[in-house]
Structure 1
Amino acid sequence: MGVIDGQWWSLHWPGMVLWLATAVCCGVVLRYGVGRLVKAWRRRNRPGHAVSGRCFYLDEEEVKDVADLLHIPRSDVQVSHEVNLSRGAGVTGTVGGAGAKLEQSGGSSTKTERKDVNTPMKTISLIMDRLWEQDRVVDADLVKERIALTAALADELRDTAATDGVALTDVRGGTYISVSGLFTVRRDRDDFVLRARYGSGESAARVRITCEHPWVRRRFPVDNYSEDEKFPATCLGLVRSWNDRTAELTLDPVAIFQW
């Protein structure tokens, strides 16, 4: 029996190896395809907001730096302007009842080209589109208490995230995050601070955003809001840190929109 088994394997092992290699390749391709579909689904079904509403805060220096990192040009449209010039002269006359006409004309054209420079508002729109396309933004809806991670961060937290959902503490420092919620505002010298609640009970946390005065647009009426008055807004920013004592997630804002 052992001789028969040995003869069978000696004849069929190349085919078995080929079959196993094919199965492994098919599995890799299938996993890659499923991963691409999942990423596409995530991009189409994000709960957060893109550029919408009135922008009342825009860190223009940060916008330039982020645009450079994402390879977004400072100018993206080439505008052509063409001018046509023509000149002409003519003489007409009659000699012995016969008419004659002599005309001379000429033309020239001038074409100029220039770059249409991106404004900070156009650039932040391009930045957000590029970040969403590359699946590099975590979406957090604080009102609905829902967070949508990027595919990379979801894979990293697959075995460590809590079974009841993703917490704000799961979002790593340096990660781009789009936070939508109901915010309160108070003045802090020339700057002002936004805060929004996330969760309820003992597990409640807050998002804290400090807005520097130079980047406040349209004279945001911070003093018109009472200490407890809330307004809806969306902030695109970078996660700076998490404070266990105050249960606050601090963001460095790039742009904030009121909607």
Structure 2
Amino acid sequence: METWSLNHPEYGLIEVRVGFDRDFAAEDPSWPGDEADKPGTLATAESPLKERIKLWTKNPTERMEVRVNGEVQHRYNDVASARLPLFGDGPKGELETPAGLSTDRTKPHLKLRVSSFDELLSVEFREGDTVVEFDPPTGSRGAHRRETMQSSELKRTLIPMAEGLGKGGWALAVLVLGPIISRFIGWLVGFLPDWDLPDWQLPHMDLPVPSLPEFNLPMPDIDLPEFPEVPEWALWLLEYSKIWVPVVIGIVVGVVALRNHRRSEQEKAAWQQHQAGKTPETD
């Protein structure tokens, strides 16, 4: 089981726990999951791509639990990239779905980023303009991602940018590989025999068409101004909007991620100064 944690100066210890029904049921027999008899293994920072794919296909469904100061707030039936409210009504008879569509961004909530293999990569505490990053568990895929990003400012920008480009990668692949695939298909078609298909003729039918009255409306003679010719680059942008729009989104995601990291570090430093300035009398 993975446990992501953040010590908030007001709300206390916030935890996001990821595991399988078997892990949670071992701690709480009333856990509502229905796959407690199926063991699972989470990928680690050292797991190669082949092993990660195998775990993704063989593992049971990952579950998630959110706690504040040890009290359960939410229990989810899956791990997904979403914005989720921090506080809730506690344990229920069924697991929630991490949709997060109606999450109020002005109130305390969590923003999760999950990989394509259902691996939790990052967790952020958010409340209004406040953004603070959780500490990933040691040896997890999230810890590996953070260590890679902390190695340089360039990687901290490029990694979120690449993640933002992920949804538009198919469009870039079509643009680059499309001509190659087209030629390959044309080459294969050359080996197929020529078949003469029968010449099917449909019966001719004359249907009555009503004769509508003609209207001759006076049209004003207006001389429209001559518009400048549209440049080639503008026509290219219009034609390939599905290509460059994801690229722009990826760049924006990378810049915003770098800005949020700096805001997170500033907020954590402010929390530490606040805690250091406390005295027994003020507590």
Choose 1 or 2 for highest CA Rg. 1
Question: Normalised by the size of structure 1, how large is the TM-score?
Answer: 0.21
Q: Which has the higher strand share?
A: 1
Question: Normalised by the size of structure 2, how large is the TM-score?
Answer: 0.19
Question: Higher relative CO (CA 8 A, sep ≥ 6), structure 1 or 2?
Answer: 1
Q: Which has the higher helix share?
A: 2
